[in-house]
Structure 1
Amino acid sequence: MDSNETTSRLTFQHLAELVSREFDVPLERVTEKTSFADLDLDSLCAIELVALVEEEFGTMAVDSSLNLQQPLGEVMAILDRSAS
């Protein structure tokens, strides 16, 4: 496992914990394949998550390309690209 894989996993775990904590979703339901819609989160929650991610990760990574059907793993990929 290289350092990029480690960073991504840690960052996804952080993202999953953030989603779980802020939106009262059981952590075990939050996976890389889970979408906002799967978690019964609406577009307002997605916007709130954008603000939380910007605050927590110090990045403007997630933007208008975010949608409710998008798996959190894809959100993770957006974070990885912006951190580079």
Structure 2
Amino acid sequence: MDDADVLEALRECAPATTDRIAERLSAPVDVVDDRLAALEEDGHVERERAREGEGEGAGDGEWTIVRDPRLEESVDRMRDRLGRERR
């Protein structure tokens, strides 16, 4: 399992807890938690901590992929260009 596997699993079920991602990858929770921590440190994912007593996995929180504004802008420009070319 590498970072790409973790990111793909997160894309498929985001937002998701560490347990959910580990289940999706059939991998040990502690291994997935380590990969997510490294991805968070690199700025690729972020975790929203659950408030104590909130639902399943309270305290763990849910992970999401961090959006890169430069990439979002590039996608928007590409979408506009394709729209103009189709006309």
Shorter-chain TM range is 0.3 to 0.5
- Greater fraction helix: 1
Whichever of the two has the greater Rg, that structure is 2
State the TM-score, normalizing by the size of structure 1. Answer: 0.35
The structure showing larger relative contact order (alpha-carbon pairs under 8 Å, at least 6 residues apart) is 1
State the TM-score, normalizing by the size of structure 2. Answer: 0.34
- Greater fraction strand: 2
